Structure 1
Amino acid sequence: MNLPVTDPRSLVSTVIAVVAIVALVAVLVLLARQRRQVRTANQLLELSRELRQRYDALQSVTKEGVLVQSLGGRVLDISERAAAILGVDPASALGRPVSDLPLVLVNEQGLSMNPAAVLGHRTVPGPDTAESGPELVGVALPDSAGMHVRMVQVASQLVPAGDGENPAVLTTLVDVTGRREVEAALSRSETQFRVAMENAPIGMALVDLDWCVVEANSALAELLGTRVDALRGYPMSELGEPEGRAAERAEVDKLLAGGAPRFSLEQKYVRADGHAVWVVLDAALVRSASGTPDHFVVQVRDSTESRLQAEMLTHRAMHDPLTGLANRTLMQEVLQSVLEQPGVVDRVAVIACDLDGFKQVNDRYGHAAGDELLVHVAGVLRAATARRGTVARLGGDEFVVVVQDADGPRAVFEIAAAIHAGLVEPARIARRRVQVAASIGIALADPETVEGGAPALVAAADAALYRAKAAGRGRTEVYDASMSATSTTGVHRELADAIAGRELVVHYQPIVDLADMRVVGYEALVRWQHPHRGLLLPGSFLALVQEAGLSVPLAQYVATSVVDFVARTRDKTRWVSVNVSADQLGDGEFATTLLGEISRRRVTPGRIVVELTESSLVASSTRIRHELTQLSAAGVPILLDDFGTGVSPLSYLRDLPVAGVKLDMSFTSGIPDDPTAGKVARALGALARELAMVTIAEGIEHEEQARYLHRNGWRYGQGWLFGGAQPAEATRT
């Protein structure tokens, strides 16, 4: 068989072509592999950028700073937060050894520390070597005041392959300066609170939500007569008397329910020795950060003395200071409350009692003897009543007994007979035997008088007394319907006739300068020279004047009399004060009459002074203020009488044109035995002097009172020590 002969050149060409194809394929494979590697590298680079961005973003919001170092201490990376904490520039810190950075580190004692040792990798020596925990160091940084130290918590750990193939040190830095300051502030606050609580002059306690004492101070323990440790765990409610626990529990529940943030309550506590003390309990609820109740802070103030003083002042306001009997206000309250009860007919009666011959005792033996006699008569009335009613002194020698007994008619006549019997025996007054008798009027409660209330029953008894006086005195009369004209309309008409007929007279009590006891003026006091009952003091008829609507005519009558007296006085420096109540002001008639008389008699306006009764001005109107302003502008000074006993004296001093004040005699009478009265007199005097006001003290009965008041700034005084009220012709004019 013959084979074809191949051309050698053709074979070579084929071989070359195959080799070229193989080479091209290899090149294409290499190019494809290179593209994949480039793509992978680009992906890794993008991932690196993204991770770096995430890392930077994380570092920008985290409170922790991050420092990465090689094992040799060269800075590989530092976050902005870490650079700010350490006070270094992040760009200049990269690549530098930590020991070359401008750092000043100190420990808690203020001693310098090696930055490389503090920020580098630290281990705890021992058989099992371990990384050390966080360390607190101070970074000293310069500021305008010099240097300040920032407290930083440092923690380091090894990071594998952190420096290429080698491990690196990752250090976290946390600025705890603010937290440390808060902790220090809280510690200081707690210390200050405990010191303040322990040394507080009033009782304090921390009380849990079960209202039991957790902690108490020494003042509270001393107040309760016990020890601090004995109070811990003790229920607060057990400290008070049982009757006050319900109110206390209600206030505590209100706090827990969110009804109020605190409460204040006066309680009666029982000491460990059994004695009772009055306290004011102030409690506040402390809540946690979440708003839930946590505990109570309680203050306990001893209010025993202030409560006793308040009770004393209340007693004074409701009782006659001379005899200790109830006064008119208390008597009317008692009688009204009794009459409002069911079935009072035949169980209630009123006795009106007036002494016969009392004025002669005053005139012959002096007012001090008269006061002693009134005290004696008060004792006779108490004994005669024998706890079957309330005895009151209305003023002067007028007394009233409100009788309350199951058999009222029998009891009232027994009491009246006992009063007469008790006065048969002469009273021993200033080593003298003084004889007085009493005229008595009786009014039994019946449907008509009960309907009229307390004023009607008292008026009925007074009408019976009037009949007893007119019938010869020293006797008892019982009210009946025939006396009604006398007790109401008749008495009112009689008063109007008395004003018109000048039966009302003005007496003058001297006012002296306490520095030299020189008489500088007088107080005008009205009396009724009754044709049958003799000289009556204001307490026996002023209330009837108001009922009859004769207050303004009476004030005009007195004003005319006083201006006439002043015009006839030879000593042109002396002045006279006129008492005026709120019901006599407001319509301008009083001011018009007074200023008209001053002008007509050519009297210097400053020689007439208007005295306002403070208690009558509770609801002073704009018209009253206008009339007072008119008087003041005309040169008539305005004095505030009974100063210190009204409801709002400071507002009167501010709102009314007041030029001076008169200290109420209830404070004067307590000097020097009652230290509280002395303090009040001194304080009121200081207040008046601060306001540049005239100061007058009334009710001075002995020289010690006069000296005390003068020492404490009261310029003028009046009272029995300087003389009682006398008719105009008896004064030295």
Structure 2
Amino acid sequence: MGGVLELFAQPAFVAGVGALLILLALNAFYFFWRSGREREARDRALAQERALRRQFEAVMTSSRDGVVIVTQSGEVALVSDTACAILGLRQSDSVGTPLARLPIRAVDAHMRPMVPGAAFARTEDGRPRVIGVPGRRGADDIRWLHVRSRPVDDAADGRPLTIVTVMDTTGLREAAEALSRSDAQFRRAMENAPTGMALIDLEWRLMEVNRAFAEMMGSTVAALRGTPFSALSHPQDLHAERDQLQRLYDGHQNHFSVEKRYVKADGNVVWAVLDVGLVRYAGGAPDHYVVQVRDTTEVRMRSELMQHRAMHDPLTGLANRNLFNEVLSDLLAQPDADSRVGVIAVDLDGFKGLNDRFGHAIGDNALVHVAGVLRSATGGRGTVARLGGDEFVIAVQDTDCSKALFEIAAAIHDGLRAPLGVKRHQIQLAASLGIAMADEDTIAGGSAALLSAADAAMYRAKAAGKSRTEVYEPSMRIADDNQTALAAELARAIENGDLVLHYQPILELATRTVVGYEALVRWQHPTRGLLLPGAFLPLISDRGLASTAGAALVEQAAQFLERSPSDTVWVSLNVSADQLGDSAFADGVLAAIGRHHLSPQRVVVELTEASLVNPNTRIRHELTELRNAGVPILLDDFGTGVSPLSYLRDLPVSGVKLDMSFVAGIPEDPAGARVSRALGALARELGLATIAEGIETEAQAQFLADCGWRYGQGWLFGVAQPAATALSQHPHTGTSLIDPRPAEPDPVLGDR
């Protein structure tokens, strides 16, 4: 024991023990330090794992795609909330359940049933599988899913897992189907549209066209695909849309329209309105153009025809007064007009006698012949116009105008020397010509002054023996002054009641009883006696007296009807377009009807076709106002002139009067007979009353009655007489014109 104590007491032993204790203390400290770090690392790992799990759960919860994790044994290890919502599962019932036992009713893309195992199995090419599951809107609702399966190794124990992602594509599928339907509908609409349609790329090449467009261009759909659209344009309209296209491309406008010409495959030209719109991508970049091409050839031709008719004489095709005034005004506006411009006024000699002897049809033939002579004599050196009746005028522009005027005048006389052969008759025509050169005075006075000077020279030629040419000189102004004085005298005559109406009877052809009258104006001049309309009607129009004269004559006609023993007889008043448009005439007619307590159907407004060329809206309104009040509208000179049949449809017309030019040749003239029969049938088909004028023989009256013309007037039944004579001379029918008789072939004026 003592030895042991001595051993512990030795210094070496003490030192060794101390070293050992220090070493043990250091080792204990190291282990405590290391265990603390391990705890910290473990805590950090656990915290990181919790964070990752939260992130995973957040991703699984917020993802639009569902996720199902299946173990190697085929059990569901995890199913996301999104997957539950898409597949109609509950998470508590799904986790741990074999995949094959999941309560899922699935079908493939062909609507064939599928078990869950097959629905979620991996495809051979790795692409998604398309399956359908029941939706929420009934038994017929299917939700379409994209299912993708891929195996992975579990990082924990190395066992394989299968991750199944489920994406609901129902909305995308419906959008695609809607887009497909929309595209199909657009294609069908485009293919079956009656208007030409095309899709054009940004290089202005045809991508697709419809059948209507191909037919418009005289080609086929296949032949037009890929064709530059500009290749179809008329050479003069090649770049008609270029500036508009650039503005459309740059976004300065949404669409544009332009009318232009295209050349069809057969070389014919078609007018069309091109409507262009630009389709852009969602970001705004241009993609392609959509165009409509509407064929306006017929509309344009009709418009040009109407414009031509408005500016040309319907009988001869020459320029009318409106066009002539425009042409002459343009010539006089040129700086050298005083040495290069002149006018020839032409008036036929004895034309009224020709009309009275042979009828209006022969007179019209003569006017057409004269028009041809004037064209030939002018030879393209001027504009030939017919101002009305047998009055013609020529505006000439030439470097040696004086010489040209005399050459044309001489050629006119030579051309008229050849007789006109009509139905075994040789008719000799002649004309009086007046020449006027432009000078300072006529240029200052405009086209009217120069035309007035030529008229003065023409009247001098008539006074000097006719069939000759006179040149205007200042002394002839006296004649023009006389016209002005006559116009002032006419104005006073209207105010004093010197314009009077004579009445020509209109009979029912079947019964030969008087049913109405046409009122024809005369001037009871204090010194010159009774003047016919030709002596003063032009002055009424030229001097703007039509409205005043019309009001006075309406009052006379109303007084005549009031004195008539029959309460059904009617009077037709000739009315020109000059009297219409401001409602003053209509107001005057209705006021007179009221003052004299007349039935509105007894006052008939008779219009000539020539007065209806391009009627404006106000004229139509006034006619409609009269017709609505019960006043019948009668269309005179039916069959002549240029008014289209649309007037009979669009204007409130109640009846028509067959022009006497068609009556003159019947029944001997087969052509005239056919035309009269056809016009009568047309009028009756339209429900219009039918009146034939210019009846001079019993044969004409019987033929017209047999053709269905109900009423007639003419020399056979009596000429125009003063009011007192007309009332006492003709027995009147007891049947009102406005009472329809169903057995007759056409209605009366008041029926329509």
TM band (smaller chain):
0.7 to 0.9
Aligned equivalents of 2:507 and 2:693: distance in 1? Answer: 9
**Shift in CA distance, 604/310, structure 1 to aligned 2, threshold 3 Å:** closer
Identity percentage of aligned residues: 41
AA matched with 2:614: T
Larger mean CA deviation between 378-387 and 35-44 belongs to 35-44
Aligned equivalents of 1:164 and 1:539: distance in 2? Answer: 121
| 2:655 alignment partner in structure 1 | 696
Aligned equivalents of 2:581 and 2:279: distance in 1? Answer: 55
- SS in structure 1 at match of 2:267: coil
Q: Is the 8 A contact 1:522 1:577 kept in 2?
A: no
Deviation, structure 1 residue 668: 4.4
| 1:279 alignment partner in structure 2 | 272
Deviation, structure 1 residue 172: 1.0
- SS in structure 2 at match of 1:345: helix
Question: Residue 712 of structure 1: which of 686, 691, 702 is its match?
Answer: 686
| 1:73 alignment partner in structure 2 | 74
**Shift in CA distance, 614/37, structure 1 to aligned 2, threshold 3 Å:** farther
Deviation, structure 1 residue 156: 1.1
Paired residues for 1:510-521 under 5 Å: 521=516
AA matched with 1:652: H
Tell me the alpha carbon deviations over residues 591-612 of structure 1, each in whole angstroms, 9 at most, x when there is no partner. Answer: 8876776566564455335679
State whether structure 2 residue 603 is matched by structure 1 residue 608: yes
Deviation, structure 1 residue 213: 2.6
Question: Residue 363 of structure 1: which of 356, 378, 400 is its match?
Answer: 356
CA RMSD of aligned residues (A): 4.5
| 2:108 alignment partner in structure 1 | 107
State whether structure 2 residue 469 is matched by structure 1 residue 462: no
- SS in structure 1 at match of 2:238: helix
- SS in structure 1 at match of 2:239: helix
Deviation, structure 1 residue 666: 9.3
Give structure 1 stretches of 5+ with no counterpart: 9-20, 125-131, 616-640
**Shift in CA distance, 396/711, structure 1 to aligned 2, threshold 3 Å:** same
- SS in structure 1 at match of 2:315: coil
Aligned equivalents of 2:119 and 2:498: distance in 1? Answer: 110
Aligned equivalents of 2:170 and 2:94: distance in 1? Answer: 24
Larger mean CA deviation between 184-193 and 244-253 belongs to 184-193
Larger mean CA deviation between 441-450 and 405-414 belongs to 405-414
Paired residues for 1:54-133 under 5 Å: 54-120=55-121, 122=122, 124=124, 132-133=125-126
What is the TM-score when the length of structure 1 is the normalising length?
0.78
Q: Aligned residues, how many?
A: 674
**Shift in CA distance, 65/555, structure 1 to aligned 2, threshold 3 Å:** same
Paired residues for 1:300-699 under 5 Å: 300-470=293-463, 473-484=466-477, 486-487=479-480, 489-499=484-494, 504=499, 506=501, 521=516, 524=519, 526=521, 535-536=533-534, 540-546=538-544, 550-573=545-568, 574-577=570-573, 579=575, 603-604=598-599, 606-609=601-604, 642=612, 645-648=614-617, 652=621, 658-659=627-628, 668-669=639-640, 677-678=644-645, 680=646, 683-684=649-650, 695-697=654-656
Aligned equivalents of 2:156 and 2:609: distance in 1? Answer: 95
Q: Is the 8 A contact 1:662 1:698 kept in 2?
A: no
| 1:629 alignment partner in structure 2 | none
AA matched with 2:111: G
AA matched with 2:551: Q
Give structure 2 stretches of 5+ with no counterpart: 9-21, 663-675, 696-711, 733-752
**Shift in CA distance, 519/178, structure 1 to aligned 2, threshold 3 Å:** farther
AA matched with 2:114: M
Paired residues for 1:187-336 under 5 Å: 187-336=180-329
Aligned equivalents of 1:511 and 1:47: distance in 2? Answer: 117
**Shift in CA distance, 291/585, structure 1 to aligned 2, threshold 3 Å:** closer
**Shift in CA distance, 614/173, structure 1 to aligned 2, threshold 3 Å:** farther
Aligned equivalents of 1:226 and 1:364: distance in 2? Answer: 59
Tell me the alpha carbon deviations over residues 426-475 of structure 1, each in whole angstroms, 9 at most, x when there is no partner. Answer: 43344333445433333221122112222222233233344444555444
Aligned equivalents of 2:100 and 2:360: distance in 1? Answer: 104
Aligned equivalents of 1:381 and 1:497: distance in 2? Answer: 39
Question: Residue 141 of structure 1: which of 134, 137, 140 is its match?
Answer: 134
Q: Is the 8 A contact 1:157 1:170 kept in 2?
A: yes
**Shift in CA distance, 79/483, structure 1 to aligned 2, threshold 3 Å:** farther
Aligned equivalents of 1:349 and 1:134: distance in 2? Answer: 93
**Shift in CA distance, 651/562, structure 1 to aligned 2, threshold 3 Å:** closer
**Shift in CA distance, 295/728, structure 1 to aligned 2, threshold 3 Å:** farther
Deviation, structure 1 residue 71: 2.2
Q: Is the 8 A contact 1:347 1:404 kept in 2?
A: yes
Tell me the alpha carbon deviations over residues 329-365 of structure 1, each in whole angstroms, 9 at most, x when there is no partner. Answer: 1111221222222211232222233333333333333
Q: Is the 8 A contact 1:358 1:370 kept in 2?
A: yes
AA matched with 1:541: L
**Shift in CA distance, 541/106, structure 1 to aligned 2, threshold 3 Å:** same
Larger mean CA deviation between 657-666 and 346-355 belongs to 657-666
What is the TM-score when the length of structure 2 is the normalising length?
0.76
